[in-house]
Amino acid sequence: MRNRIETLSKERSRQGLYEFLGEQFGKFGKDKSVITVGAGGEVSDLLFEYAGDNKFDITTFDINPERNPDILGDFCEYDFGQNRYDYVVLSEVLQFFRNPQKGIENAYKILNPGGQIILTTPFVFPIHDRPYDLYRFTKYGLEYLLSNFEDIKIEEKNSALEAIDVLWMRFYRMGGKHTYFLKRIIIYSRYYVHRPITKFLMKFIRTDMMTTGYHVVATKPL
């Protein structure tokens, strides 16, 4: 039962993420070089799937040796020497960077001119992966971090109403065993009952003041 609840919660939490990443990965051409920060997991699986079809090269980077990355280290501090890439993928990892500014600067440095950073990051979202979850970013904060880039596209992952739904769906991670049945009621009611209502209300209530996170594409100038 817990696995089913977790699946429903993750489906809502990452709504649109894999569609966005798939759209971007599908644009990576043959023999292009890609570095992805955060080895393993569903994002890496999706990236390797597209690499198999489109024949681009992937380098994995992670601070955790258990994930067996191609390069082990702190991305904010790592010296890549003369290595350069056509794409840098930072999906759901910026919040873990000890120094996000230096991380973005390093991404800029290792990109070829005309190369792109593909970035996703949470905004209104519960603390996760304690104690490594350090930051949240508004779209204006992201614009500031990416100010050296051009053609910056920042999109909300979902609407304000959907963000509220996601927070309710993450409720299963909160509280103790005594809330087990309450969690089940909340999760299933939010998914099967309130979700259709949310979709209906979204037609009339539009605001970008709240979202669970952002999808970003930015290009290094030629």
Q: How long a stretch of residues is the chain?
A: 222
Omega before residue 113 within 30° of 0, cis: no
Domain with 84 in it:
12-158+207-219
Is 113 contained in some domain?
Answer: yes
CA distance 55 to 136: 34
- Amino acid letter, 211: T
- Mean pLDDT for all residues in the chain: 87
**Res. 14 pLDDT band, cuts 50 70 90:** confident
CA distance 209 to 207: 6
Query: What is the model's pLDDT at position 220?
Result: 98
Is 136 contained in some domain?
Answer: yes
166-187 mean pLDDT: 66
CA nearest neighbour of 135 among 80, 63, 214, 65: 214
Ranked by mean pLDDT, the top range of 5-14, 115-124, 156-165, 195-204 is: 115-124
Query: What is the model's pLDDT at position 210?
Result: 85
160 vs 138 pLDDT, higher one? 138
CA distance 9 to 135: 22
Alpha helices, H only, the chain: 2-13, 17-25, 41-54, 100-110, 139-145, 160-169, 180-189, 195-201
Distances in Å between the alpha carbon of 141 and those of 135, 147, 175, 194?
Answer: 11, 10, 32, 32
The 10 Å Cβ neighbour count of residue 50 is 19
Query: What is the model's pLDDT at position 218?
Result: 98
148-169 mean pLDDT: 87
Query: What is the model's pLDDT at position 1?
Result: 45
64-70 mean pLDDT: 95
Is 7 contained in some domain?
Answer: no
Is 189 contained in some domain?
Answer: no
Residue 57 tokens read as: 């090269």
How many domains is the chain partitioned into structurally? 1
Percentage of residues in the chain with pLDDT exceeding 90? 65
Q: What is the CATH number of the domain that holds 128?
A: 3.40.50.150
75 vs 164 pLDDT, higher one? 75
Is 82 contained in some domain?
Answer: yes
CA distance 16 to 13: 9
Query: What is the model's pLDDT at position 186?
Result: 66
**Residues in Cβ contact with 156 at an 8 Å cutoff, skipping those fewer than 6 apart:** 139, 208, 211, 213, 214, 215
Is 27 contained in some domain?
Answer: yes
Query: What is the model's pLDDT at position 173?
Result: 63
Q: Is the pLDDT of residue 202 over 90?
A: no
